[in-house]
Chain A
């Protein structure tokens, strides 16, 4: 991977370059208080783009896998049916995507483009997407209470799957790392210059420090939780305890950068015209597995919570996609009213195991 150095005053010129290439660029902006969001960059808001800010709750995966997306349009005429697929492949870039969300998009890549059946709608959007990753280096602004990318091994600096990575080295300098040929092509711009060994040493030192600035978290037990879930060692009462705290709002899935489930619905858009859309769906919702006629195999709420964490933590699925469906962004912990985001789940599993082990020692 090639790297270059640029002045912090030139960083937003990368946005200009991408726009000149015809990209619709999305970048993070600050709102009031903790509120932040991704928005389309225009001439008016370009200078308000923030490099260091709390990661927006609404994940940038929606620029590739939209919340609601038309799959096809169907027209009826003279007893016939015309089906016309709707493809949208805008040339887009996300500027300032965090490392956890880069891992989330990689997970979607593995899921939607892997195995026998591939998703053409995802493929078309993904091919035209350019990712500019920003490394979280500011403990006060970038790293939140809930962040645990260090435990999920996705950050604070993504190792791969971005086109370009930017890292604030302090002292008015940024390091840019190219992850793809398209990213490297940007280095022909005059504001990039070659770095020195001192820059590399600074990068290493900063990353070493940043790793220490994560809040002491229960998620250091993350890999053990994966082991326990994979082995089916979690007791029913723990799932029930988790289920009792679930309000069935589906918020955790809507903010999750790695959730993939969707439902499909037809809606009338004209007298003889129907559109088929897909919409994000959530396994927390009661109707997720309900069949016509009313039979619902996963009726109890704890069965559904069990499902979410089994899907995310079971080794079987990690192996199936060669990527894990939890990237350590901590959003679920921030939005959950019942405090059963991933870090709490890990803690509840740890507590349960400690309890079980006390009664039945492992070494006998």
Chain B
């Protein structure tokens, strides 16, 4: 048995909100930092794909992906208001205090992917966790081969992280393809589901020596997996990050279990090969 002193893993640390940026309807990005600089430094060791537990006292606690890359200076969450906790976060003003604990979860093994092509496929707010990996990969550009981004959203208005998108579209080191389900506002780009981008003339998806990151709503996930497999991707080279109702984040409360895995400690990042072996539907 582990004999080192027991720390209180449920105790969040106080954070202060610096500024809030509107992304798309119901989605905002919250820039924050810990009040205690030591806590901040410890937290900043997070890896892409990890998450944190955010406390809004009175409303509760919820798990939130970490969209920043550790290579960036600022720490932030991008959160859609869906329930009472996220709504409470959306009420906060710069200078308000809340609390955070983490980082938790396994994260994406970005070092294992050195020397490979990276294909990112995101649908809607599925870009939030993948943003961290994309920025990380671009900050270590020489370690990776081709980097391709395929991003789908409902309408042009639902495209988030627009500054990043513009940058990626212009950058020579990355191929960025966007699509929307319904065109509006003078959209001249592709219209259709994200998988339709793979077959677009001039697009050649890297398959050999490639890792595909897939994140989005369940229906999009199912179809993209089908498309990727048709292109020749193996299950072990497709990675995703799962989301579940969670209370503790440390493998104790039991809510996030899928089959044999606790999403909070064994995940949230799983390969598609692992997902199929969990023994329960995702």
Contacts and interface: CB of A to CB of B under 8 A. Distances in A.
Contacts of A191: none
Interface string B8-37: 111110100000000000000000000000
A88 interface: no
A267 to B, nearest CB: 8
Interface stretch (B78-86, B152-160, B207-215, B267-275): B78-86
A118 B60 CA distance: 22
B257 A291 contact: no
B223 interface: no
Contact of A117 (B9, B12, B243, B245): B9
B6 A283 contact: no
Interface size class of B (residues with CB under 8 A): 35 or more
Contacts of A79: 95-97
A318 to B, nearest CB: 11
Interface stretch (B133-141, B165-173, B190-198, B247-255): B247-255
A70 to B, nearest CB: 11
Interface stretch (A24-32, A255-263, A335-343): A255-263
Nearest to A320: B260
How big is chain A's contact interface, by range?
Answer: 35 or more
B57 A291 contact: no
Contacts of A317: 260
B10 A72 contact: yes
Contacts of B250: 116-117
B259 interface: yes
B84 to A, nearest CB: 8
Contacts, number: 128
A85 B9 CA distance: 11
Q: Is the interface of B mostly helix, strand, loop or mixed?
A: loop
A115 interface: yes
A123 B260 CA distance: 25
Contact of B257 (A81, A278, A307): A307
Interface string A113-132: 11111111101000000000
A252 to B, nearest CB: 14
A317 B279 CA distance: 13
Nearest to B62: A292
Nearest to B53: A264
Given A117-B250, A283-B254, A291 B259 contact: no
Contacts of A115: 2, 251, 265
A289 B245 contact: yes
Contact of B6 (A74, A81, A120, A278): A120
B257 A311 contact: yes
Interface in A253-282: 260-266, 268, 274, 276, 278, 281
B161 to A, nearest CB: 21
Contacts of B9: 117-120
A172 B197 CA distance: 84
A125 to B, nearest CB: 12
Interface string B55-81: 001111110000000000000000000
A290 B84 CA distance: 14
Contacts of A268: 58
A33 interface: no
A110 to B, nearest CB: 9
Given A117-B252, A118-B2, A274-B57, A81 B244 contact: no
A291 B259 CA distance: 17
B184 interface: no
A194 B253 CA distance: 46
A72 B59 CA distance: 14
A288 interface: yes
A23 to B, nearest CB: 22
11 contacts: A74-B57, A76-B57, A79-B96, A83-B11, A83-B12, A266-B61, A281-B254, A295-B218, A297-B281, A307-B280, A317-B260
Given A114-B1, A114-B2, A115-B265, 4 more contacts: A113-B1, A120-B10, A262-B248, A291-B243
Q: Closest 4 CB pairs between A and B?
A: A292-B83, A261-B254, A117-B250, A293-B82
